[in-house]
Structure 1
Amino acid sequence: MTKPIVLVVAAALIDVDGRVLICQRPQGKQLAGLWEFPGGKVEPGETPEQCLIRELHEELGITVAQACLAPFVFASHAYESFHLLMPLYLLRRWEGQVTRKEHEALAWVKPDKLGDYPMPPADEPLVAWLRDLL
């Protein structure tokens, strides 16, 4: 039986101190309490970049220019009922103040400390790439 492929896009926001933003999934959602990179599901007719610009505005209240989104690496992970494909973009420039709108909590974390935060299985492999880069 083939599983549907779900395209989700995420961003690693990197501040001037080289810390990465992670967000805690809210109660009542699947994988609640785990930490993830901000982003979301790509809607029909939307490009990954358009989705990320929309999601970052909805979740964090920031404005992002498409030119500032740098494709970095992707995750491919089989969950029980679907297969997740998740490109991760790097983002160092945005407008506005990062604000928690939908998540339980936000944390700016040094790459070598990201392993201290429990993450969904699809996000975990991305941490090593960020650690090597930053």
Structure 2
Amino acid sequence: MSERIVVVGAALWHEGRLLAARRSAPADLAGRWELPGGKVEPGESPEAAVVRELREELGVDAAAGERVPGQWPLRPPYVMQVWTASLRPGSPAPRPLEDHDALRWLTPDRIWDVDWLDHDVPAVRDTLTHAARHP
């Protein structure tokens, strides 16, 4: 059995809105939306990966919160886990840096206004359920 590689997705909430990031690369994902994030590096905790990925991808200073229950399969050997996150006081506003060309803050009633990547859809759905239970 091969070892799974964890990819963290950040459910970055601010003022009741969830941040969605539009992919600019690779070509097969470009134009679709996702929760920002990336691979957990060897020896790194998922929470530390959330903070690092948000800094690298969006230029923000964020804090990792709770893990959203569950995990979602990506292409083997990758699995996605989602963690809530929030901007730290004084953080700059998010801006698209690596692999993204647009960002949108979505209220819960507008979450489905963007074309989420297929593997992010169940994660986003569970993130909304988690947020409703843990305001």
Q: TM-score range by the shorter chain?
A: 0.7 to 0.9
Contact 2:33–2:114 under 8 Å retained in 1: yes
Contact 2:5–2:39 under 8 Å retained in 1: yes
Q: Rate the CA distance shift 1:87–1:27 in 2: closer, same or farther, 3 A.
A: closer
The answer for unaligned runs of 5 or more in structure 2 is none
2:4 aligned with 1:5, yes or no?
yes
1:43 offset after TM fit, Å? 1.3
Give the alignment partner of residue 116 of structure 2, picking from 102, 112, 119: 119
Q: How many residues align?
A: 128
Equivalent-residue separation in structure 1 for 2:58 and 2:25 (angstroms): 18
Contact 2:23–2:34 under 8 Å retained in 1: yes
Compute the TM-score of the two structures, normalised by the length of structure 1: 0.81
Equivalent-residue separation in structure 1 for 2:35 and 2:66 (angstroms): 15
Q: Rate the CA distance shift 1:53–1:92 in 2: closer, same or farther, 3 A.
A: closer
Identity of aligned residues (%): 35
Equivalent-residue separation in structure 2 for 1:83 and 1:116 (angstroms): 30
Compute the TM-score of the two structures, normalised by the length of structure 2: 0.80
1:30-109 equivalences in 2 (<5 Å): 30-65=28-63, 68-79=64-75, 82-94=76-88, 95-102=91-98, 103-109=100-106
Equivalent-residue separation in structure 1 for 2:5 and 2:125 (angstroms): 23
1:30 offset after TM fit, Å? 4.7
Contact 2:72–2:123 under 8 Å retained in 1: no
The answer for unaligned runs of 5 or more in structure 1 is none
Q: Rate the CA distance shift 1:96–1:42 in 2: closer, same or farther, 3 A.
A: same
1:29 offset after TM fit, Å? 4.9
Equivalent-residue separation in structure 2 for 1:72 and 1:33 (angstroms): 25
